Each structure stands twice: as C-alpha cells, then as structure tokens.
C-alpha cells in the first residue's frame, strides 16, 4: 500500500500545493512512535535521522 502511495506522490506536482515542495521527494512508510519522533527531531534540529 505504501509503495502505491509513494508512486502516486512521485507523479504529483507538489509545487501546485506548496511551492516549497518543488523538487522534493515524497515517500510513505510505517514507523513506530519513537522512530518518527527521532526522524522529525533530526530533520528539525540537525543530526539527519
């Protein structure tokens, strides 16, 4: 299911919805609560999770 969502996200022109999304890659996956918090913190505060 997430592969299908990711494929459709690649086809979408995300700049239509949010100009900041231009040339960004979208990927959908299932992660547990601790992992998504660590990834988000890494993106927001450095450390690249």
Q: Which of 32, 13, 9, 10 is nearest to 22 (CA)?
A: 13
Q: What is the pLDDT of residue 45?
A: 92
Report in angstroms the alpha-carbon separations of 42 from 6, 13, 33, 39.
Answer: 22, 26, 14, 5
With cut-offs at 50, 70 and 90, classify the pLDDT of residue 43. confident
- Domain positions in the chain are 2-45
With cut-offs at 50, 70 and 90, classify the pLDDT of residue 39. confident
pTM value? 0.39
DSSP secondary structure code for residue 23 in this structure: T
Distance CA 38, CA 49 (A): 7
Tens-digit pLDDT profile for residues 4-24? 877 777 776 666 767 776 777
pLDDT: which is higher, 2 or 43: 43
């Amino acid at each position: 299911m997430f592969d299908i969502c990711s494929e459709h996200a690649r086809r979408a022109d995300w700049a239509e919805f949010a100009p900041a999304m231009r040339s960004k890659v979208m990927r959908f996956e299932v992660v547990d609560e601790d992992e998504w918090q660590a990834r988000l913190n890494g993106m927001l505060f450095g450390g690249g999770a």
